[in-house]
Amino acid sequence: MKTKIYIIALVSMIIAALNLSAASKNQITCTGSTTVLPIAQAAAESYMDNHPEINISVRGGGSGVGVAALQNGTTDICNSSRPMKSKEISVAKAKGINPVAYAIANDAISIIVHTNNPIKDITIQQIKDIYTGKIKNWKALGGPNLPIVAVSRDVSSGTFEVFNEKVLAGAKVEGSAQLLASNNAVLSAVSNTPGAIGYVGLGYVNETVKLLSVNRVIPAVASVKNNSYPLARKLYMYTNGNAKGEVEKLIGFIQSEKGQKIVEEQGFINIK
Amino acid sequence: MNKYKEKAFQTVVYIASLLTVFALLALIYGLFNEGLPFFDTVSIKDFIFGNGWYPTNSEPEFGAWTLIIGSFSVTIGALLIGIPLGLGSAIFISEIAGNRLREIVKPIIELLAGIPSVVYGLFGMSFIAPLTSKWLHLDTGLNVFSTSLILGLMIIPIIASMSEDALSNVSKSMREASLALGSTKMECVFRVIVPAARRGIIGSILLGLGRAIGETMVVLMVSGGSAQIPKGIFDSVRPITSTIAAEMGETVIGSLHYQSLYALAILLFIFTFLSNLITEIFILKKSKNE
């Protein structure tokens, strides 16, 4: 009698599994950058509300993970907070994958300090000097006599790579700089540390920290769109070849007016 | 029928143990397979004793020395906090507390082991670190001190429960002999019982060391992540585990940087392997002696 129950359970489980795999034709997977993650998640939820037959699974992991998943053909969409590197593209091509980029949002790498810091503006050169260890005290920038605690993202994050290219120009970050693993960790460290300076995506800036203008430009919709803010960047979704079918519709939705509204709700800037 | 059952049982447990051994071998193979090619490009000496960790720079440097020092500094700090507290709790539970108190204290200490490490990390990042920087007037609270504090807390249950086992296993006759010779309770504990249980205690400390050196979430969130040799206990460091965790997510698979993270993992594996080996030797010796 017992064996019978087991067999029935087993068979029904197999049937359920078969059903799942049959349904996966309407499945879209989306992997990569943690900066893009909130946009992708909110957009996927909104899209699924209107298209209940589509199932979108969104995963983070980082731009590098997304790119690797695209190269291995294990994801439909790769989220990336930076353009793919030429080496990554050549590896993908060698595997028969042809990455195509879709810009889905604008972002600004925002320089933040502790709320008690009187400094309002900083230049790119000054940021570079801080992170390479040339300037070690806020006094040198006209601030209080307080040692600077430089907070950076990890050297392999997409955000660091943009920062590296636009600010450091390849110079090495000083060893004593703190390297933290996520936008939120940087935000929390800067809000708790009077001498700290850090950088995060614009969507993460809130009232616990003070936002600095860079070269006298404040990161905002207008200054990011006309590229006058020096640390503006684009966020991307990559697909293998031109997006087709449901993937094309999804990316089209994110680029549409409604999708761009979601981008703004998540604290980023639209691409219109 | 019974014979058949017996046979099946034996097969099942045999397969289970085989699978476990296989899993370990697969892990070691994966680790060395991905990590060893790294040493074709970078020499072992440059890797271990190099001072700069700049894996993504246009002229990458793979010097793990600062990371190794980072790992050891927080581990030693953790042991300095975990050993006295863990051993003290063990002595209290095993020798001093009455039955009822023991039933209350022991599960509480063991509960510390059940809390996920990410919770410890959050606690350290958002509570301990701001507090230490405020009270001690530091530039930053994400440093060796805060990290050691949390790691020390995490290894208490390991040290306490294993040492307690070792202390309880000391035979009653030794206690009675010592007390009969006129020793006080304190003399009895520190001159007789602790020395008699020392192998178990050392074993527990080495296990605690293994746990502290391999802990990832806490060091990732609390150590501050500066790749530097700390000048004091209030400097930030970057342990090996947090480097792997932070960088693995976004590195290009198969690149030199990717391989270097596996090389770090091999290093960590060797450290843990050695500490477990020493633990094993101590415990094996103990069972031979008795």
Q: A148 to chain B nearest CA, in Å?
A: 8
* pLDDT for the residue A159: 86
Q: Across the interface, do A177 and B56 touch by the CB < 8 Å criterion? A: no
The 10s digit of each residue's pLDDT in A116-166 is 999 999 999 999 999 999 999 999 998 999 999 999 988 878 888 889 989
* pLDDT for the residue A11: 65
Distance CA B103, CA B105 (A): 6
- Per-residue burial over B66-86, b if 16 or more Cβ lie within 10 Å, else e, is bbbbbbbbbbebbbebbbebb
B118, B217, B237, B250: best to mutate for the A interface, most A CBs within 10 A: B250
Distance CA B87, CA B79 (A): 11
Which residues of B touch chain A, with CB atoms under 8 Å apart? 52, 54-58, 66, 125-126, 129-130, 133, 139-142, 220-221, 224-228, 235-236, 238, 242, 245-247, 249-255, 257
Distance CA B153, CA B151 (A): 5
Distance CA B40, CA B50 (A): 16
Q: B13 to chain A nearest CA, in Å?
A: 22
* pLDDT for the residue B263: 95
Searching chain A, which residue's CA lies closest to the CA of residue B52?
A175
The 10s digit of each residue's pLDDT in B148-170 is 999 999 999 999 999 999 999 99
Q: B41 to chain A nearest CA, in Å?
A: 19
Q: Which of B126, B226, B252 comes nearest A179 by C-beta?
A: B226
Distance CA B29, CA A233 (A): 41
Crossing angle for the helix pair A86-94 and A63-71, nearest 10 degrees? 20
SS3 of residue A7 by DSSP? helix
Residues of chain A with C-beta less than 8 angstroms from the C-beta of B253: 64, 68, 71
Q: Across the interface, do B125 and A193 touch by the CB < 8 Å criterion? A: no
Q: Which of A85, A147, A179 comes nearest B225 by C-beta?
A: A179
* pLDDT for the residue A163: 92
| Dihedral pair phi/psi, residue A217, rounded to 5° | -115, 130
Q: Across the interface, do A64 and B236 touch by the CB < 8 Å criterion? A: no
Q: Is B213 exposed, middle or buried (0-12, 13-18, 19+ CB in 10 A)?
A: buried
Distance CA A266, CA A107 (A): 11
* pLDDT for the residue A229: 93
Q: B84 to chain A nearest CA, in Å?
A: 31
Searching chain B, which residue's CA lies closest to the CA of residue A88?
B252
How many other CB atoms are found less than 10 A from the CB of residue B142?
A: 35
Residues of chain B with C-beta less than 8 angstroms from the C-beta of A130: none
Q: Across the interface, do A154 and B133 touch by the CB < 8 Å criterion? A: no
Q: Across the interface, do B253 and A68 touch by the CB < 8 Å criterion? A: yes
DSSP letter at A146?
A: -
* pLDDT for the residue A22: 44
The 10s digit of each residue's pLDDT in B206-230 is 989 989 999 999 999 999 888 889 9
In sequence order, the 6+-apart residues with CB closer than 8 A to the CB of A187 are A112, A198, A200, A204, A205, A206, A208, A209
Examine the pLDDT at B70 and tell me if it is beyond 90: yes
Decide if A155 touches B, using CB distance below 8 A.
yes
- Is residue A23 very low, low, confident or very high in pLDDT (cuts 50, 70, 90)? very low
Distance CA A88, CA A85 (A): 5
**Which A positions 178-217 lie with beta carbon below 8 A of chain B?**
178-181, 185, 188-189, 192-193, 195-196
Q: Which of A62, A164, A179 comes nearest B250 by C-beta?
A: A62
Residues of chain A with C-beta less than 8 angstroms from the C-beta of B238: 179
Residues of chain B with C-beta less than 8 angstroms from the C-beta of A159: none
Spell out the SS3 assignment of chain B. CHHHHHHHHHHHHHHHHHHHHHHHHHHHHHHHHHHCCHHHHCCHHHHHHCCCEECCCCCCEECCHHHHHHHHHHHHHHHHHHHHHHHHHHHHHHHHCCHHHHHHHHHHHHHHHHCCHHHHHHHHHHHHHHHHHHHCCCCCCCCHHHHHHHHHHHHHHHHHHHHHHHHHCCCHHHHHHHHHCCCCHHHHHHHHHHHHCHHHHHHHHHHHHHHHHHCCHHHHHHCECCCCCCCCCCCCECCHHHHHHHHHCCCCCCCHHHHHHHHHHHHHHHHHHHHHHHHHHHHHHHHHHC
Rg from Cα positions in chain B? 23
Tell me whether 0.90 is exceeded by the ipTM.
no
Distance CA A170, CA B58 (A): 7
Q: In this structure, are residues A196 and A117 in contact, taking their beta carbons and an 8 Å threshold?
A: no
The 10s digit of each residue's pLDDT in B74-101 is 999 999 999 999 999 999 999 888 889 9
Q: Across the interface, do A179 and B221 touch by the CB < 8 Å criterion? A: no
Distance CA B151, CA B79 (A): 8
Q: Which of B55, B221, B249 comes nearest A155 by C-beta?
A: B55
Searching chain B, which residue's CA lies closest to the CA of residue A85?
B252
Q: How many helices (H) and strands (E) does chain A have?
A: 10, 11
In sequence order, the 6+-apart residues with CB closer than 8 A to the CB of B288 are none
Q: Is the dihedral of CA A18, A22, A23, A29 positive or negative?
A: positive
Amino acid in the structure at residue A256: S
What percentage of chain B reaches a pLDDT higher than 90?
A: 61
Q: A94 to chain B nearest CA, in Å?
A: 14
SS3 of residue A252 by DSSP? helix
- Is residue B39 very low, low, confident or very high in pLDDT (cuts 50, 70, 90)? very high
Crossing angle for the helix pair A245-255 and A37-50, nearest 10 degrees? 110
Residues of chain A with C-beta less than 8 angstroms from the C-beta of B221: 181, 185
Distance CA B53, CA B263 (A): 13
How many other CB atoms are found less than 10 A from the CB of residue A193?
A: 24
Q: In this structure, are residues B220 and B246 in contact, taking their beta carbons and an 8 Å threshold?
A: yes
**Residues A90-102: what's their mean pLDDT?**
92
Q: Which of B220, B254, B257 comes nearest A156 by C-beta?
A: B257
What percentage of chain B reaches a pLDDT higher than 70?
A: 97
Q: Which residue has the tokens 């540390």?
A: A193
In sequence order, the 6+-apart residues with CB closer than 8 A to the CB of A34 are A60, A61, A62, A182, A183
